[in-house]
Structure 1
């Protein structure tokens, strides 16, 4: 049937300098068709040994192309065992090691490359990270100062690892602070702020540096500009700074005015502490290594929010976590990047780190649930959703996520109470925010055999969002499938087609409405377009066969039914009906289905 299976999109936390600042609790309109589930990532196992150099190299290249960083790293290291002098192999192994989170092995390889005089830009960046992690500040300053100057015409703000002059100089400014040269450090940040396009990024770090040396007034002046700190880390830092300035009321007002405040337990906890007259400590930056970690996170966020997320974003996020293991936003960004690259098991490790620290932030958990579902691990996803609703029962999005998971597993009766809870939390006056849970509950009710209630939800959702093609199509098709209100159903579906003229599911609904109305000739064109868009869908091919039969194209009808049968119908009942049509024709099958009609004997399976 042409009913569209949907999920609500999880909220995604905005890391430093990824716009918008804080996640909004607005579920976007779900995709028109059920997406093909991503293949689950294979369990991490050591790469099998392959003799010689070419075998491991080719296997590593293939693994790297598939974003299988763990296998790629192991294969590259096998290749290096055959030839440890090839800088290309070394650098490729280093990329894979960092991407997979194998930071200690990456550090050891970077040292080897340096000792051999073959250090690449990434190897030098790894070494600088190690110096920062061990707080060897003067050595870090000296190493950056010895780096070759940019080539003529090179963009000073480029984001290539190690070769980025802006990245190097920001690291150097933090290292100067670590080495005890606070005045020079602040001056360096101020000078960097003059670089075209870099001012907001640099001013955020200048504010952190000022706060780190006790200049809270100067830090607040910088963070008061939304351009400099309009992200969750900036909001937290500013709240702490205002509290240090004995301005708790201003900090509370700022927090409560932050978009998405009610979905961020971290911000709520800060607000509640200040309401008890507690002065918040400034611990956004505990040492310069934390500052450099946020530099990496800043660059990672910029790279991750481009039209095509740059794989270097993951490297920068990994380095941020390496320097500041408590920086949850770095774990979250790594997890989100890994999800996008299809590495769900590696993503799960990052989410688990957040949980182990007791940092169950709803936004992170919603991303985690989405990753588990897409990795075809529904039991784990359901457990995570249940844990989230238990920890944060006030979060409507958690209940929606639970309802979606239950619905995707055909647990329709169990999904309904989850959506009920979400709608109770959202309230009757929330307006358009109610449309998605109403729509999703309507689907669960319809599939649970409670159509009158489902119809009420669909119609309420349409009042809130009249131009929702999904709701128009689902309600229209449901009426068609029940042979009820066919004229209205046709109008609903025609409007959905106007909104999404190339959607295969909606075209199928339109054709089936014409079929139910006996307008078979009009049904042919939209059904052919639906089949062209959804050639591998059993139900659409089955519908095409029925329509061909009714316009006298019986041989083509049989071909479509045979194809529908080969595509594994949704249930054995559907398959049996198709076999009956192939054996006896549609006319006899329909006659047997009429009230009082003689049921035909079951057609044996082939």
Structure 2
């Protein structure tokens, strides 16, 4: 590198580092939001980073210049990588500060944590470094380390960071929260009049489940400063959690009236209302959206409320607006599909479901796609869709084969279900999940020999699989006369899961088939009390009818029909036994 080139690089880099022109990073002050109280506090003014004047090696200058140029071209991965590398190499406060801010701007939590901790190590008296380190450590659940920095700033007259650290307490373990509470309690003699300390204690107690202590701490904060709206908002949240919903909502409504422009308070109020009064919640979210028309979270909240209200006319344009926001696009398409499906427009529903990408809404969308296609008898396109998805997410292949077969079976396409399960077992031969599913399908196909083979294979692989033991035992009891084998299998399942209503029902049914009516009644009554279900009601009613208690049988059958009026189980039993409908 020539001397003139070095001077050129130095000049450009000096300007870039001193001005920080390439990134509009986040403010240095922490914005500590905690869902239950929406805390946000400007903790310190960003400290000016002096222009870098030390004599860096040419390689360092070049790496940092490349980082700045990469940032200007939106190659942030290169920019951050170079800055992190040079921060470790040079340990220069200006480079470390720049690396920290870039990492936070990019929401790269691991790099932001690494750089902010390094910054404090290099400049332990830099308050901004302390604030950012505390924020990142709290976000990572490292509450004890974060508390150290909050304690340092509190000693300098700024206790707000204590509240910020406590707002993240849910991210720590129980032990971490206990240690944080101990540290905060130890500060009470030093800062008895600090509202921030009592707020921090209330937050930490709340997230540790110590609600009485939380109530006492927040009451102290409100007493110290009756006009402190954050303390009042936290007090309302704690009241809401303790069951005083009316009082909490009334308190939040008063806060909104006195602070109409504070969207954090209105948002907490809207969230409380969402659990008790959807109409009023929608009104509050309408105001929030008007003030923040491009806030994706607020738009989604309002859209979901309108959807739950079945107000599709207002929900649909909100979801359509969200399709332009990448982070919410898939969710928006999913709900647009559900709206179309509920309105009977299945083509539009399918088109929107197919636009849902991998993420939380992908599997629900896939299930609904299958439901629509299979219900219409369109098995080929359904299978084509599933094949495409299995190629996209091969790690989920077992689950996807099981899902496809389950939907086929739901609509009585039993041969297709058996075929898809056999195809799945060709790819995942030892899958007990697929073997069990195929056994159940073959039982419905009256292929009892094949069903038993698969059930026994599952039991061979998993001797303590209570579900498989019970399924085989019930099948033998209900569909054959091999009662002794059935009883032995079901007893084994019962020993593994003695409180399982389905297994107790099987035990009662096999006892009935063996002629032990007293035992059958006891077991079936126990099963029905544990889990009222039409199938158990059908069994219990039959035993009552056969043993002569026909009034009780009719009563149980009526209860069973009420549980699921569309079920044919009970009417078939009643017809077989000649019972009056």
TM category, shorter? 0.3 to 0.5
Larger proportion of helix = 2
Name which structure has the greater RCO, CA cutoff 8 Å, separation 6+.
1
Q: TM-score, normalised by structure 2?
A: 0.43
Q: TM-score, normalised by structure 1?
A: 0.41
